[in-house]
Amino acid sequence: MLNLEGDLPGLLRSLIDIESVSGNEQRITDEVEVALSGYPHLKVIRDGNVLIARTELGRRERVVIGGHLDTVPIADNVPATITGEGDDLIVHGRGACDMKGGVAVQLSAAAALTEPNRDLTWVFYDNEEVEADRNGLFRITRERPELLAADFAVLGEPTNAGIEGGCQGTMRVAVTFTGLAAHSARSWRGRNAIHDAHGLLVRLAEHQAREVEVDGLIYREGLNAVRIEGGIAGNVIPDRCRVLINYRFAPDKDIAGAEAYVREVLAPYDLEVVDAAPGARPGLDRPIAADFAAAVGGTPGPKFGWTDVARFATLGVPAVNYGPGDPNRAHTDDEFCPAADLERCRAGFLTWLG
């Protein structure tokens, strides 16, 4: 059983030792449900493998704090191990930083904050590491959005125990070139579709990424070719070439604005939008966000990349990322989380909400 009132490294080890690769979150959700159900100040709601624990104290403001329970596949890194001691203690294992470290902090804080100064909604969800339509938080935003209504949200993704506001949006577009197949020994009889992509690739290589200020944070954008497909054999002039392009955009624009920008930059090429997800403004100009930043300390920075804070943004809830562990260690075989980060994040929540 999970001990929410013991030491944080021990709780994190227990969470890591419950294998919960995406799609296999039943057992860990069961354990979290049992642990949280023992606290009378929390109303526990389960929906599939999404668990929500709420306080109902009639406070003026409500905060959602969430984290995902799943991990990428294990790689001989379960069960957890410990190295170092004291302030240098480190917990190693799959999910240590992405993001069972954040889950451990949130479970410990949920148990400790019996009389928070704001009402709290703790959310633990499944299938974050796989395709979006399986994401448990995404499902709740569509089916039971009232459970996520709040004035502010925090997602426990790893940030080295610092605040990263909002997130970038992302869009993928494709450009397809059509040529004429021919034997490569008689190449003049065909038209090389891969060669035709040259102008587009030069345009992308010369593109200057924009830096955009949003709520006091500077987001650096990116527009890059990420895949090229073309050709069928080593002796055939390719009659088709498809270039996949990824645009990471600042949260000052929505999907329509992002598409308009890409079409303007890459005109007159004919673009096909493959998929897109909006970003999230950090909302750090809100008084509640200022209180959070003051309580946890440090200087907030932008989130480079996309996270589930965007789910909250679609509901009109400003959100930030704040969790233990180095995001550069996420998904690596030697994934780990420093105990000092765990303690710092827990202290930040208790200071802000206690």
pLDDT at residue 287, rounded to an integer:
93
Give me the mean pLDDT over the 306-325 stretch.
94
Average pLDDT for residues 326-333, to the nearest whole number?
94
Give the integer Cα–Cα distance in Å for 342 and 6. 13
Over the chain, what is the mean pLDDT? Answer: 96
Per-residue pLDDT at 132 = 86
Report which residue type is found at 306: W
Confidence of residue 285 (pLDDT cuts 50, 70, 90): confident
**Banded model confidence at residue 282, pLDDT cuts 50, 70, 90:** confident
Neighbours of 241 (CB within 10 A): 21
SS (H, E, C) the chain: CCCCCCCHHHHHHHHHCCCCECCCCHHHHHHHHHHHHCCCCCEEEEECCEEEEECCCCCCCEEEEEEECCECCCCCCCCCEEECCHHHCEEECCCHHHHHHHHHHHHHHHHHCCCCCCEEEEEEECCCCCCHHHCHHHHHHHHCHHHHCCCEEEECCCCCCCCEECECEEEEEEEEEECECEEHHHHHHCECHHHHCHHHHHHHHHCCCCEEEECCEEEECEEEEEEEEECCCCCEECCEEEEEEEEEECCCCCHHHHHHHHHHHHCCCCCEEEEEECCECCCCCCHHHHHHHHHHCCCCEECCCCCCHHHHHHCCCCEEECCCCCHHHCCCCCCEEEHHHHHHHHHHHHHHHC
Please pick, among 98, 126, 128, 341, the residue that the annotation labels catalytic. Answer: 128
**Active-site hit among 25, 70, 308, 341:** 70
Task: Tell me how far CA of residue 5 lies from CA of 33, 61, 93, 105, 339, in angstroms.
Answer: 15, 26, 22, 11, 15
* φ, ψ for residue 83, nearest 5 deg: -130, 155
pTM > 0.85: yes or no: yes
Residue 295 reports pLDDT greater than 90:
yes
User: Angle 8-16/101-112 helices, nearest 10 degrees?
Assistant: 130
Which pLDDT band holds residue 81 (cuts at 50, 70, 90)?
very high
Give the separation between CA 345 and CA 247, rounded to whole angstroms: 32
**pLDDT tens digits along 186-226:** 999 999 999 999 999 999 999 999 999 998 899 999 999 99
Q: Does residue 70 carry a catalytic annotation?
A: yes
- CA distances 252 to 209, 259, 281, Å, are 15, 13, 7
Q: Is 333 a catalytic residue?
A: no
